[in-house]
Structure 1
Amino acid sequence: MPIENIPEIYLDNKKEKPDLFVYDFKMTSNVVKSKVNLGMNMFSFLQVGKKQVHFAGTAVAVNKDQSLLLKKGNWLWTELLDTEAIYYCKLFFFSEKRLLEFLEKHTENKVVVTNEEPYFIIRNDAYITSYLNSLSTISDAPAVFMENLLSVKFEELMLYLIQKYGKKFELYLYSLIISEGSAFKKTVESKIHSNLKLEEIAFLCHMSLSTFKRNFIKEYKTSPGKWLQDKRLQKAKRLLEEGICKPSELYMEFGYNNLSNFSIAFKNKFGISPNQV
């Protein structure tokens, strides 16, 4: 699956990336685990549908009652239609330059933030609904005025969210401008019990599959396929021993296409079939 560079694919002029940019994204069919290189921090105001995103060390799912502020980087996006025949979200991109200008103008402390989540969930309310309507209203404004209008709207939104969520949101904004070190182990170990493929985990680590495998063997002294399979089978065995679920209810969750393949792998690992636990 090709990597989508966002917001570049939405820009008329691919060579010039604006500091602020709004885009209405719509689709009429489900998209599962599309690879996205997000080149700017972005608000995703979900209007119709459901959304799930995987980042390096975490994943989050939202519906139309929630919006997201996402950190730039590599993501896997799943976007699903709900009861309507269309998926629709309004995207608002902003540069680090504009973020820094806002923080310098409206916050006092130069805090250092590390290990923050790469997303912030926003509960949609009457203000957000009104705000999105106002963004739609200015979308027809002449280009010469658009930059100034978006500057005002960006500052308005940020001030509202700081008022609503307080220090928590302010600290999150600072985390967006802190460069992170290698999150390789954090990424790998957060995806042990997901059903992501190796290629997808490698993408979240900003690596090709071959580079990912080399780094993995160097770090864990075994192949990623064997290591992940062992970890997932151990978790599956614990769930079966605790009587939480049946083999037929969990094989897909641990990356197996069918119950038969899961049963064979389980028996090879533990000497008994899942039904015998």
Structure 2
Amino acid sequence: MPIENIPEVYIKEKEVNSGLLVYDFKMTSDVVKSKVNLSMNMFSFLQVGKKQVHFSDTSIAVNSQQSLLLKKGNWLWTELLDTETIYYCKLFFFSEEQLLKFLKKHTKNVQPAANDVAYFVIENDDYIVSFLNSLSILNLENSSYSANLLEIKFEEIMLYLLAKYKAAFEYYLHSLISKEVSPFKNVIESNVYSNLKLEEIAFLCNMSLSTFKRHFTIEYKEAPGKWLQDKRLQRAKDLLLEGLLKPSDVYLDAGYNNLSNFSIAFKNKFGISPTDIS
């Protein structure tokens, strides 16, 4: 699956001179685990549909009653239609320069929390609905004042969210300018029991599959496919031994697309079928 460079794919010109961009994103079919290289921080104001984003160490799912502020980076996006025949969200991109200018003007020089994450969940409310309507009314592309208008709208939504979420949002904004990158092992350990494929985990590590495999083997002294399979099968066995779940409940999280392949791999490793565990 090709990597989408966002917001570059939405930009008609070669650059966003103001460091701000609004884009109405619509689609009429589901997209699962799309590879996205997000080069700017971005508000995703979800209005119709459902969205899930896989990060290097976690994932988050939201519905049309919520929106997300996402940190720039390599993420996997799943965007699903709901009861409607269309998926729609308004995307608002902002550069680090715009963020730094805002933080200097309106916030203290706080240190981001050590466990900062790549997203912030926003609960949609009447004010946000009104804000999005105002963005839709503005003819930002054709106005000679578009850059100034957009800066005012950016400042408006940031100030509102600071007032709404207070210190939690302030700390999150400061974490966006952190240059720390998740360590390779942290990405691996966070996805041991996910059902992500090797290629998808490699993408979250910002590596090609071949580079990822080479780096993994050096770090863990074992091929990644076998290492992950052993970990996930052992986890599946532990869950079955607890007696609360059946094989049909655990095979997907063990990284298998069907119960038959899971049963074969399980028996090859442990010498018994998963159905034999009571």
Quickly name the TM-score band, shorter chain normalised: over 0.9
Match of 1:90 in 2: 90
Structure 1 residue 274, shift from structure 2 partner = 0.3
- 2:85 is paired with a residue whose SS is coil
Match runs of 1:6-85 below 5 Å: 6-16=6-16, 18-85=18-85
Q: Does the 8 Å CA contact 2:48/2:89 hold for their aligned counterparts?
A: yes
1:165 equivalent in alignment to 2:165: yes
Q: Give the Cα separation in 2 of the matches to 1:248 and 1:139.
A: 53
Q: Does the 8 Å CA contact 1:56/1:205 hold for their aligned counterparts?
A: yes
Q: Give the Cα separation in 2 of the matches to 1:58 and 1:182.
A: 12
Q: Give the Cα separation in 1 of the matches to 2:138 and 2:182.
A: 41
Match runs of 1:176-215 below 5 Å: 176-215=176-215
Moved segments of 4+, more than 2 Å = 14-18, 108-115, 139-143
Q: Structure 1 109/18 Cα, relative in aligned 2: closer, same or farther at 3 Å? A: closer
Give the counterpart letter for 2:72 in structure 1: K
Give the counterpart letter for 1:95 in structure 2: S
Query: What percentage of aligned pairs have identical amino acids?
Result: 69
The number of residue pairs the alignment matches comes to: 277
- 1:51 is paired with a residue whose SS is strand
Match of 1:239 in 2: 239
- 2:180 is paired with a residue whose SS is coil
- 1:56 is paired with a residue whose SS is coil
Structure 1 residue 143, shift from structure 2 partner = 3.2
Q: Does the 8 Å CA contact 1:38/1:72 hold for their aligned counterparts?
A: yes
Structure 1 residues 234-257: Cα deviation after superposition (integer angstroms, max 9, x where no partner): 111111111222112221222112
Q: Quick check: 37-46 or 262-271, which moved more?
A: 262-271
Q: Structure 1 16/91 Cα, relative in aligned 2: closer, same or farther at 3 Å? A: closer
Q: Does the 8 Å CA contact 2:53/2:60 hold for their aligned counterparts?
A: yes
Structure 1 residue 191, shift from structure 2 partner = 0.9
Structure 1 residue 140, shift from structure 2 partner = 5.1
Structure 1 residue 144, shift from structure 2 partner = 1.4
Structure 1 residues 40-93: Cα deviation after superposition (integer angstroms, max 9, x where no partner): 000000000000001111110000011000000001000000000000000000
Structure 1 residue 109, shift from structure 2 partner = 2.5
Structure 1 residue 141, shift from structure 2 partner = 6.4
- 2:260 is paired with a residue whose SS is helix
Q: Give the Cα separation in 2 of the matches to 1:141 and 1:264.
A: 58
Q: Does the 8 Å CA contact 1:266/1:272 hold for their aligned counterparts?
A: yes
Q: Give the Cα separation in 1 of the matches to 2:52 and 2:17.
A: 26
Q: CA RMSD in A?
A: 1.3
In the alignment, structure 2 segments of 5+ residues that lack a partner are none
Structure 1 residue 121, shift from structure 2 partner = 0.3
Structure 1 residues 174-220: Cα deviation after superposition (integer angstroms, max 9, x where no partner): 10001013421111111111111100100000000011011111111
Q: Structure 1 49/112 Cα, relative in aligned 2: closer, same or farther at 3 Å? A: closer
TM-score (norm 2): 0.96
Q: Does the 8 Å CA contact 2:22/2:91 hold for their aligned counterparts?
A: yes
Give the counterpart letter for 1:163 in structure 2: A
Structure 1 residue 108, shift from structure 2 partner = 2.3
Structure 1 residue 112, shift from structure 2 partner = 4.8
Q: Quick check: 131-140 or 164-173, which moved more?
A: 131-140
TM-score (norm 1): 0.96
